[in-house]
Chain A
């Protein structure tokens, strides 16, 4: 497992030192997980939800009860400007 590559994909900043400890840790974890592969899963479907629910849908109505004011939306923002959230300039186009 390429720790540097994964850290990049996951947008997790890591130092050189962390790279080392993380690699060791992952090997240990994956070893524990290894036991999974001794199980015969032939013909078994994966479960991504245990509820068995289907078709849980919502009517197309405006629900203002959860809607934030601009102030509420921005209240915890580290940086804001004229009602917008702010990030450093993004150079490439969308």
Chain B
């Protein structure tokens, strides 16, 4: 693309974008399943900034969930699950088959989990579900996340951190470090 060509508005190549999703200029989303499980209510706005390439993503949200993504991000086959808020900064790269969730999905307590199973069943239509722990996920600018990584609720990943493929991130990651493992641990301090 030459500089004289005006950049196109953001677009999703495989369908009509939900009204509460806003894309910045030159952002491209691919994948027919991208919004298959997008259930955010009208006042919960999901935004993707400018110049992003989001290939094969799942924006899977509950009624109160929302996802905010900055500029110049590049994701491949990422699964984003939000019941509350997932915030991703600028220049973030995420590899194949990585999952980010801001919720536990079901209660920890066994008795409450039975109630949840019933509420989620075909007989549970309209029944309220018991409370499940949710906590926002924040991924700061310049973070690199490899393939097959899992990031759980409440985690904040500091700017410039490098998450090795296959890591399971259960706790905050300081800025600039390199982590790997299950659970993810620091294997390299920030670059000098």
Are A and B associated in one complex? no
B binding-site residues for A, Cβ under 8 Å: none
Binding site for B on A (CB under 8 A): none
